[in-house]
Amino acid sequence: MKLIYGIILTVIICFNTAKADFTVSAEVTNGAVFKTSLAQLSEYFKNIKIYERYFPGIISVKELGNKESEWVYEIDAPLASPVRMPFTLIEKVSSEDYIVFETKNKTPDFFRCTARLVSMGENETRISISIEIKMVRDSGGDVHFMAPILGEKFISKEMKKDLNQALSTFLSKCKKDFK
């Protein structure tokens, strides 16, 4: 019985003494070749509505004007309610071969989507997309009830796996528009 009380006390202490800031982050890169020109692919990926339509976890994207948009990303955590993260993004760079959407305010949460396009011939273009996301909360319990025990590294690693899968799914769905 003392062992059970000891375990319960340890869990309570972990929850109550979690460090002040709990940061979870992930960065992934993936690419694909599309059977279209660089100009057409560039216009396609500048259309922010495709991210809402095809990117798993992005539940809404709304144009605000002045190259700004609001993106809402939802992280579905096991055994917990989904965590919604709204971001106000600015289109930082917009050329035919390089596109960058980045959080307007870099704190506390951060999101960046970068796309590099390379022509591989008249009707073939390679795109490489990098996504970086960072979430900062007052405590691990604000992320997930098990986060203080599992730790920032474990949660970040799981987030990276999920984000990598989402990016792969996104590119696969986008490719279907060019068949």
Q: What pTM, to 2 d.p., does this model score?
A: 0.82
Q: Is the dihedral of CA 61, 66, 67, 73 positive or negative?
A: negative
> Under DSSP, is residue 16 helix (H, G, I), strand (E, B) or coil?
helix
Q: Could you tell me if 102 and 32 are in contact, meaning their C-beta atoms sit under 8 angstroms apart?
A: no
User: Which of 3.30.530.20, 2.10.240.10, 3.40.50.620, 3.40.47.10 is the CATH number of 20-178?
Assistant: 3.30.530.20
- Single-letter amino acid code for the residue at 51: Y
> Under DSSP, is residue 147 helix (H, G, I), strand (E, B) or coil?
helix
Cα distances (angstroms) measured from residue 127 to each of 30, 31, 115, 119, 141: 8, 5, 7, 9, 38
Residue by residue, pLDDT tens for the chain (179 residues) are 544 444 444 454 454 444 568 888 999 999 999 999 999 999 999 999 999 999 999 999 999 998 999 999 887 776 677 878 888 999 988 899 999 999 988 778 889 999 999 999 889 999 999 999 998 888 877 777 777 887 889 888 988 999 999 999 999 999 999 88
The full set of domain ranges for the chain reads 20-178
Dihedral angle, C-alpha 53, 56, 58, 61, nearest 10 °: -10
